[in-house]
Structure 1
Amino acid sequence: MTARENASSTMPAENSSGEGAELLRQKLQQAEEALRGARAELECVLDLVTHGIRIVNKDYSIKAINRALAEMSGVSAEQVVGRKCYEIFPSVACHTGECRMARILGGEESVRVEIERARSDGSTVPCLVTAIPFHGPEGETAGIIETFRDITMRRQMQAQLLESEERYKALINLGTEVGEAVVMLQDESGIEALQTFVSDEWPRITGYDKNELLSMSFFDLVIPAERVASMERHRIKMSGKTLPGLFEINIVRRDGAIIPVELTSAFTMYRGQRANVAYIRDISERKKAEKELKKQTIIFQAHLDSSLDGIMVVDPEGNRLIQNSSVDRIWGIPQRAKNQPGAGPGLPVVSARTKDSQQFHDKVLRLANDPTEKIRDEVELINGKVIERYSAPITGADGKRYGRIWNFHDVTETKKAERALRESEELYRTLFENTGTATSLAEEDATIVLVNTEFEKLSGYSKAEIEGKKKWTEFIPAADLPLALEYSREISSDPSRIPNGFELRFVARNKRIKNVIVTVNRIPGGTRRIASIKDITRRKRVEKDLKKSRQRIRGLLEHVELVREEERKRIAVEIHDELGQLLTALKMDVVWLAKRIPAEQENMQKRASSMRQTVDMTIQSVKRISAELRPHVLDNLGLSAAIEWQVKQIKDVTGVDCRFVSSPPDVTPDADTAVALFRIFQEAITNAVRHSKASQIMVELRQFPVRIRLTVEDNGLGIKHSEINDAKAFGLIGIKEKARALGGDVEITGRPNRGTVITAEIPLRKKEDINGKDTYRG
């Protein structure tokens, strides 16, 4: 290609390059103008913001500050833009890990700190600084934007608030020291009177902890009866109105106790909200003191009013201060004279009622002016009454005279009683001497002070030898003395526990022992005891002989019963063994004959069959009679099995619902006890079947460690009390005797139309206590 061609080929390229450069320059110029406009707009926006703003590149050069920061720092934007931030605004965080730029470049999304911003004049401004990153075109962190908020006013408010809180805490602490709680009540979260603040005293009073109280309405603590009135007062307070004075309410502690509190409250603002601040004091102790004072006042007044004595207190001038109603009653003072001034009310009226009115009047006036004299005398009235009078001055510990107390006691009846007592004593001595039994009167220390003639005869000693010289304990043998002393102590504490006549032995002269019955009573109103002693020595000898006779008869009855049982056993065995064998052989012969009778002889066949049935019936009768005399099951299987067999027999024969329970299943007493209990059972169940018209009979046999109990209960007519003790009721007498022979006891009770219960208890006997050979195998 030629040079011309080259030149011609390059011409368009040069033109094109020049046009592009121009276009680029124009765009750059436009971009700069847009940037200047954006900067102007940014500066305008920044200047409109009331708090300081600073933009710092990541190389720590200051990119921009607004007017507010310039005014806050005392420097202009021209002085700081383009310079390093640590040169213009140095701080202790610069070049450390606490540097806000370093923390943002380190990955934190924002940084918020409080600093003291230094001004150009050397002063400082407290600021809240918030730093956030700003990003370049590629999204990289290009620097930080910082906001500086002047918190001088907030610091001042915080200081004022702190000072207010300190004063408030001091007030609360003072309330705690004097036992007063402070509670802030606000209507929040749908809860009326929510407790939003409580002092330490309130948990102590209520028993709740602070967290519990701060979630509760104050009304939750008030008793239901006072809740509505408390709500009304709270609402009035929250409206800003005032309610004068203190008031009392009752609150329920956490433990359920109800305590009274005294409360006053006032409207206030708390945390920017309306509040009712309450000052509360626990007045439980005060209430107790008031209650006790009221109680003591009532008791004192009741004591005065209930006293039969007239009690009156007068001041040094004789004017009445205190007087009960008995004064007017004793002296008959009319209403018009009660308020009369002078030496006590109604003095002229009272004086006129005495036998020596002038002497009485003069003595009262003299005592009214005497600061020391005490008197006790008797005053006779013209109507026959006798008044015992006592008077003494009332003087304080400082020696000051406060008045005089008068006490009047109507002793008219006492005087009559004294006369009657003297007459009674004469009568008593006459009766004492002529009771017909030996009688003694002793002091609490056992000294005998008085005896009658019969006591002399019983003891063999004279009155002169006994009265004031001997103790009643000397007449009691040593073996009987503990019981007698125990009775003596019981007479002092609870006379009702002493039997009315108890037996003791009595030691007469020459150590002669006598049997006596003693009845002792305490003389009313004193400590002396009167004893009536009856000689029963002869009666005791007769009783002893009678007891021996009964023991011999009982022994004879036991022997007869034993012989009877042995005879029953022998006869039962003979009937069962011998007669049973003969009947069995006879039955075999009848069967043998029947087999040999020709079939055509029908009459003979019928006769032989009838004979065989008769023999079978006879065999069953022999078994029954043998069993009734002495059941083999009693000897072979034991008491429980024998009773169970007998119950089944009765149930099958009579149709009565009989039931038997044995615990343990096999009760195993000795042979004599087994036979006795079986015979008692037979008699009891026979009575129930024959006489009670019972439809149910329950038999229970229980063995305990030391005894056996048999109970037979039916639902029949019920035995009468007269039938239980009927001398002709030989069956019941036999039951009782069988049990007593073995040291046992029987209880029989009847309930009309509800049945009869017979219970027999017999002690278990040890092998060494069993006499004779025991052939019983149960």
Structure 2
Amino acid sequence: MTRQFNTKRTLITTLIILTLLLTWYISYSTEQGMRNDFLIQTQIGANSIDANLVKKLTGTPADLKSPEYRQLKQQFANIIKVNKQLHFAYLMGVRPNGKVFFYVDDKPDGDREGSAPGSPYDEAPKEFNEVMRTGVPVVQGPSSDSWGSYASGCAPVIDPKTGKTIAIFAIDFATGSWYWDIALHSALPVGLGVALMLVVISFFITKQNSILLKKSEERYRFMFDNNPQPNWIFDMKTLAFLEVNEAAIKHYGYSREEFLSMTLQDIRPPKDLPLLLNDIRLSSVNGLYKATERRHIKKNGDLIYVAIASHTVIFNGRKSAHILVHDITDRILTEAELIKTKNELEKLYNNMDEAVLSVDLIHMKTLYASIANQTVFGRSPAEFLDNPRLWFDVIHAEDKPKVETDFLVLYSGEKLNHEYRIIRPNGDIRWIEAKIKPTLDENGNLIQIDGIAYDITYRKEIETKLLESEINFRRSIAESPVGIRVVSVAGKTVYANKAFLDIYEFDSLEEFTSTPAKNRYTPESYIQHLQRKEKRKIGIEESDYEIGIICKNGNIRYVKVSYKEILWNGTIHFQVVNIDITELRKSEEQLRKFASYLQNIREEEKVSIAREIHDDLGQILVALKIDMGMLKQRVSKTNVFDQSSDILLKFDDIVDLINKTIVTTRRIMNGLRPELLEMYGFVGATKDYLREFEDRHQVKCEFVSNDSDIEMTPQQSLAFFRIFQEAMNNVAKHAKATSVKIQLQHTDNKLSLEITDNGVGLDKDNQIRPDSYGMIGMKERVILLDGKLDIISATGKGTCVRIEIPYYT
């Protein structure tokens, strides 16, 4: 009986143990199935998230206005809508200090259960940090917090470009039904017995798994079909496509039927097939597999670059793999273009004479050093790459404090341009000009500097010499006995030496500049000053001229002014030289008076000679002519000689010679004293002279005047006539002209005379000598009338002599 009891007890104990074990097994299997299903749902949700959207989030309230935040919130809301058992879907990040915060969730803005972007998740389980660190998805819980009791699925969101985890995607499952399902499947078999329990438990497990599988498949199908990224499932043995989503059809251009009749090999370049087989092998071994920069071929033949995420699944009873595709073609092409640009820039930098240097200040690392560093600093690029502080170490010790001070502006984001000395390895000291551009991070911290350095030693030496030259130049100006002032392009006087101030009798430059120009010039010179200003506006410059000035004490002085362009303090100015010609003017006036006196004496002497020739020689010639006539008559009456006819002819020859002598005498007298000038004035005398000139030299002459009633003083008419005679004499001797035009014009208080011929003209090698008697005489006569004389001529284009004098009616 005891034995039976022991057997029964053993049987009961065994049954109890088996029941407990079966109950535990059923509970454990159910929970693990639910966890695996939950894990797959979480991973699919994480894979469906576009990493580019996440990278544009800042984790601050500013995200509320971003389209990326709205797109992700709508995506999470759709996930919750499909599965009623899911309570919460959200995206989290981890701060550098390990604190978990919310990026975005499925709740409407303002919902009390929702969390604003950047809100901390202080109750976050430690598993969340592990997912962020390891990139391995987990199901955590069930556990309780201020939101309730939930089981949480967590999966990493991977950046296809770097392969790093950039965020955590999580969904919460309410645990009320969670525990009830487990208890339901584990409690019933105990009351019905081991055999019945096994049958019932088996039935319920099958049923429950079927329901869960159906729900999982529905959720999986929805997330698969509506994923914005291309997705497909393929047979890992045959590589045949088993299913594709709408995004894949649109992106690759194949129809669903075409996809399902193809294999993975059909969308891969032939050269990439070994890589494809290796990816499948790794995916089969690891379950989860990620790969970047794989090449696919679209239906239209376009080659694209993709990043893929793969995990193995059982699809329609076949071992398969679910693939999520991200097209990274634009990124790859951009990176390739950046590499090309970088290479071109590096080539450009290495061909430059200037040294280029880039330093990462956060990691104290030299990012780039061009070949020219060897030439400028005497250090190889490798030395700069090994020592990121070398650019500072080579600075001359005396200049380091200044450079450190200059460097401070970079922290505010301003560019720096400064000069300093360096010491090369051989001990040479060189001057450097460096231009530095700072780079600040989003918090305003200086993280990188990029600079270009020039060797300006030669320029510095030239500047030193120029400075010494400028010092000497300024000293020479200051000590010059000639008045000099320096004027800016805008017309402002910036310097005046003592000699200049003495001319004006001013004590300082300020006194000169504060005196209006109108008060410094004589009225006539002020008008000329204004005229020169107007000419400058249209590009006409007068570099030499004379002015009349009013000194401080009221005295009037005359100054000869000349100016030229100079550099003053490194900028363009004008050096204006002022020479006091007051005494020279007085001397010239005395000389002019003396010359006028001499001219008058000459003219009087000519008149006197003409009178004597007229009174003496003229009368003698006339008397001789009369006597010869009377003698001829007497000889012809006597008939004493046989050859009286020959004698009479000789008398005629002598009388003719006397007549010619009389004509010549009259011409000489007219040259010495133009009687027609006194009788008819300049115009009449000129016309008469032209008639005689035209007959004598066979040159066509024309006289033109714009004023038929011009009255000249005797001095003016005589001067004009003498100059006219000299010009016509040159025409007869040298011009070989066929015509001459004389123009007398009266305009704007000016009287001008032009004698223009069409002769051979003058070349540069055959100009009228300025010291010839004729030229001197013309100049003297014009100066005495305060006028000016111009002679304009060119080879083959004739000659024009122009006289202009002041004329007031």
TM class by smaller structure = 0.3 to 0.5
TM-score with structure 1 setting the length: 0.40
